[in-house]
Amino acid sequence: MNGNNRGERTVSESQDRVTELIEEKRAISKVLRTIANSPHDLQPIFDTILDSATRLCRADAGTLRLVEKEGYRLAAQKVRTYSPPTILEHGSHLGRLMASGKVIHVPDALALEQYRKGETSVVTAAEGGHVRTAVYVPMFRNDQVIGALGIWREQVELFTDKQIELVTDFAAQATIA
């Protein structure tokens, strides 16, 4: 009987993986169609990318930000209960993370040093229960950070390597747009 359960589990896992791949392909196709249909209007493209990233990675919310002189401007958002600031200053915790040019995986916002130091944006997001686990992926053009795609969960649950790779792919698509 143990052998049957193992065989059933393997078939079920294979079916789940096939379903996951089909969903990813559909999402990428939707983004590409949106880019083709809206070459001069970036908003629907950014909205589609962010929606796809949050849905496929089982995130509760997310933002897409673009670099401007004042800081990181909110270009798209998908949130339930939290209103992120429109501009994040370059010197803010998130601004510094994005400027690093690295993918950042925050396992628990309450454990961050910036939270313990009382940095306003981190405390507001973490204490409100809005951002606990997060991934931020920089967007590049000519080796310069031009923005970032971030997704998060309201509970502590790490993102998988596959999910981080998927967000990285979506950030690259936003850069192309």
| The dihedral formed by the CA atoms of 101, 105, 110 and 111, expressed in degrees to the nearest 10 | -90
- HEC string of the chain? CHHHHHHHHHHHHHHHHHHHHHHHHHHHHHHHHHHHHCCCCHHHHHHHHHHHHHHHCCCCEEEEEEECCCEEEEEEEECCCCCCCCEEECCCHHHHHHHCCCCEEECCHHHCHHHHCCCHHHHHHHHCCCCCEEEEEEEEECCEEEEEEEEEECCCCCCCHHHHHHHHHHHHHHHHC
pLDDT of 135 reads 95
The pLDDT value given to residue 53: 95
> Mean pLDDT per segment of 10 residues, for the chain of length 177 residues?
61 70 71 68 91 95 94 91 83 82 92 82 79 93 93 96 94 86
Contacts of residue 101, defined as CB under 8 A and 6 or more positions apart, other chains included, come to 138, 140, 145
* pLDDT tens by residue, 21-70: 667 777 766 666 666 676 678 899 899 999 999 999 999 999 999 999 99
Residue 7 has a pLDDT of 60
| pLDDT of the residue at 134 | 93
For the entire predicted model, the pTM comes to 0.78
How many Cα atoms sit within 13 Å of 172 on the Cβ side?
8
The pLDDT of residue 117 is 83
- Quote the pLDDT of residue 41: 80
Looking at the structure, give the CATH architecture of the domain made up of residues 2-176: 2-Layer Sandwich (3.30)
Nearest residue to 57 (alpha-carbon basis) of 130, 131, 162: 162
